[in-house]
Structure 1
Amino acid sequence: MHILFLTDNFPPEGNAPATRTYEHAREWVKRGHKVTVITGAPNFPEGKVFEGFKNSWYSKSDLDGINVVRVKTYITANEGFLKRILDFLSFMLSGFIAGLFVKKPDIIVGTSPQFFTAVSAWALSGVRRKPFVFELRDIWPASITAVGAMKESFVIKLLEKLEMFLYRRADSIISVTHAFKKELIERGVNSDKIEVVLNGVDLQKFQPASDKDPLLASTYNLEGKFVAGYIGTHGMAHGLEKIVHVAEQLQEYGNIRILFVGGGAARKRVEELVAEKKLNNVILINRQPKELMPKIWSLCDIALVPLVNNDLFKTVIPSKIFECMGMGIPTLLSLPEGEATSIVRSTNSGLVVESENVKEIKGGILQLYENKEVYSQMKANSFASASKFSRVTNADAMLGIFSKLIS
């Protein structure tokens, strides 16, 4: 089988869509399938092309047996609605053109969060007369209004019409949460063509560390410290200002550190708040390569997983909770009650507190810091749960869906 996959993000970018696509594609290649990925020059989230890459019209490379085609796009930082739309539209066009020259694909997949990538995949499926699969990672454009990036408007309504058009035209929709599937069915999408393949973790890469990485721990003075870390994209949806306020209230606890690792639209505001409040218990590390993530995670005693208090985020499962499971790190979820909170509660792999509630987030950190028995049990439960969310199993599930469509 030749799988043609269109994605706006791909390694060396290290965000969730890039990681999911790469780890699945790598497994498909191992099983003897051909995979071509069309993407752009790596630049997320700062909007700056990574060192060693160029934003060229067309380039080809190989990554672990995956044929990677990179095309030119309008590049901007992950901030500002109109500029981001131009970014998405440029990839929609250049990705479609590149897809016309891919030889003999059997199935064409487009992945969100933004769905202009899926528009390219749908158009290519029509021209190439091959099945179109929409991998649904986010309910977009609803997430735009949920974080306040744009208000309800005529443009949003047009995007919603395009969204529904894609759902109906897709031969199969692969949702990353059960909640997304439920919402689509309620909106009239045929349930028979919606499958759920959750996010997961590469258990060969993410494993419990016996101790904090010695070089990093020394560099950032974290030896012997209890570290609560937020690692990932610093986006508007994460409410990271609240985590800074938590750090402010924890200053009297000399052994606790709050760690931020990553970049994004909200990163500058986090840095400004930390400087303004003169916090010496906050460690700021810039975005790091994906291959360093296990070492970065090793610095953390608990993982902070926040989202703003909006009903839309009841349907979201942050992929980092699975990496935490692989590392055996308890999570502290501060997000609306939904599928993610159910996973953490059912596995007893962490604590759940109210979204954006500074008092409760602080209380959760202190509970895990002070109650060694509870902490040890959640740490063990976290790793024990990881096998349920293996990326290998998920890749096989997607292959099964593809095989049905082309048989």
Structure 2
Amino acid sequence: MKNIMIITSYFPPEIGAASNRIFHLAEGLQSDYNVTVVTPLPNYPTGKIFDAYKGKLKVKSRENNINIVRLWLYASKSKNKFVRLFAMLSYSMSLVWFFIWNKIPDKVIVQSPPLLVAFTSMLFLRSKKRKLILNVSDLWPSAGFELGALKQGFSYKLLQKLEHFNYKSADLVLGQSNEILTHVGRITSKPQLFLYRNYPNIDQQNITETTSNNQTLKIVYAGLLGVAQGILKLCKELDYGGIELHIYGSGAEENDIKAFIENNKNLPIHFYGRVDRTELHCELKKYDIVIIPLLNRIYGSVPSKIFEYAKLGLPMLYFGGGEGEDVINENKLGWVAKAGDYNNLNSVLKKIDKAVLTFELKKKIQDVAYESFDFSKQLSLLKEKL
């Protein structure tokens, strides 16, 4: 059986879309390849090495028939850009050491971002005999600029050069959105381009009809509580007349969100922290709609939650702009509010009638998801490209 390696900065037991996406990809390739995943010691999103891995430089294991190599890095979630840079450099240095002392297969999938980690991999693994596949989930540095995390200047231009080098060094680019592929195509015509959405590989679950005697709309958010999601601002801007907000997750804004709730006990906001993904799927069924917000519209971004929630049969309110709006509207998965416009968001919420949130609507959403967001079909098409 042929060998394939996946280089990623995120992998279970870490949580989040990137971790789930790479796990499902690795799992799906097993029937055709002997799969090895190279990843850092687990640390995301806490910024601390998980207890089971503390004090170790490298951990090798075999899990779910996947060979996993976990390498040392300096873990941090500091807001200081130099500390964050050192954290990325530390993993890059571990990768270079790994490349020197280990045989690398002829096919390698590299996850981007982080941009520097992807650059290190593309630079050191270039070979006429090796096929490099770049899996692009977000467009950096432009996404960082749109989020306000980066400013244009020398550093930004340097990151752009790294970005362009990565695309030009790839034989195949996987993009999670058409916007990503369009962007790559403007920079280089060298690699093949393939739309690889972040479809979850989950078993079909029973639909649960929410029951409530009042007309209060129970809204739930679940996921990372980071800058991009803007959940703290959402808490501040929502009009709570006729709604409740329920929050699951963890991340950089977690403490600020808890403090806001503590200081505004009159508001119907409920925080539950992080829960296991399987448990979360059960919890989400208790609520009327799920909300998928982004603080700013990010070119190229299509939140993976859309596909996962659709397979659970959950009506959605999307508040992020861009290609995600098209996915929601074209597949009739719920409602859309104008990105960044909280007045419009509150207006849309007031127009949602609980009477339409029926079992039939949820079943229709789930049926569309399993027809249109088929993980196995997409994976089969990818295997033809590899």
Q: What residue in structure 1 maps to residue 49 of structure 2?
A: 49
Instruction: Check the 8 A contact 1:109/1:135 in 2, yes or no.
Output: yes
Query: Are 1:360 and 2:344 an aligned pair?
Result: yes
Instruction: Check the 8 A contact 2:310/2:369 in 1, yes or no.
Output: yes
Q: What residue in structure 2 maps to residue 17 of structure 1?
A: 18
Matched residue of 2:182: which SS?
Answer: helix
- 5+ residue gaps, structure 1: 218-222, 403-407
Q: What residue in structure 2 maps to residue 325 of structure 1?
A: 310
Q: What residue in structure 2 maps to residue 308 of structure 1?
A: 295
TM-aligned CA distance change 1:165 to 1:79, over 3 Å: same
Aligned equivalent of 1:210, options 208, 211, 222: 208
Counterpart CA distance in 1 for 2:97 and 2:205 is 41
Q: What residue in structure 1 maps to residue 276 of structure 2?
A: 289
Query: Are 1:347 and 2:310 an aligned pair?
Result: no
Q: Which amino acid aligns with 1:201?
A: P
Q: What residue in structure 1 maps to residue 69 of structure 2?
A: 69
Counterpart CA distance in 2 for 1:315 and 1:89 is 25
The number of aligned residues is 384
Matched residue of 1:163: which SS?
Answer: helix
Q: What residue in structure 2 maps to residue 274 of structure 1?
A: 261
Shift of 1:272: 2.4
Range with bigger deviation, 388-397 or 195-204: 388-397
Aligned equivalent of 1:233, options 224, 242, 250: 224
Range with bigger deviation, 168-177 or 387-396: 387-396
Counterpart CA distance in 2 for 1:192 and 1:166 is 10
Counterpart CA distance in 1 for 2:381 and 2:78 is 31
Counterpart CA distance in 1 for 2:117 and 2:282 is 32
Q: What residue in structure 2 maps to residue 405 of structure 1?
A: none
Shift of 1:93: 1.6
Shift of 1:60: 0.5
Aligned pairs for 1:30-179 within 5 A: 31-54=31-54, 56-77=56-77, 79-103=79-103, 105-126=105-126, 129-179=129-179
Instruction: Check the 8 A contact 1:199/1:319 in 2, yes or no.
Output: yes
Counterpart CA distance in 2 for 1:392 and 1:55 is 39
TM-aligned CA distance change 1:182 to 1:57, over 3 Å: same
Counterpart CA distance in 2 for 1:296 and 1:401 is 38
RMSD: 2.6
Shift of 1:106: 2.5
Matched residue of 2:340: which SS?
Answer: coil
**Given the two structures, how large is their TM-score scaled by the length of structure 2?**
0.91
Matched residue of 1:238: which SS?
Answer: coil
1:247-304 Cα offsets, whole Å, 9 max, x none, are 5x21x43xx4211111122222222222222244111122223343322333332111
Instruction: Check the 8 A contact 1:177/1:197 in 2, yes or no.
Output: yes
Q: What residue in structure 2 maps to residue 389 of structure 1?
A: 373
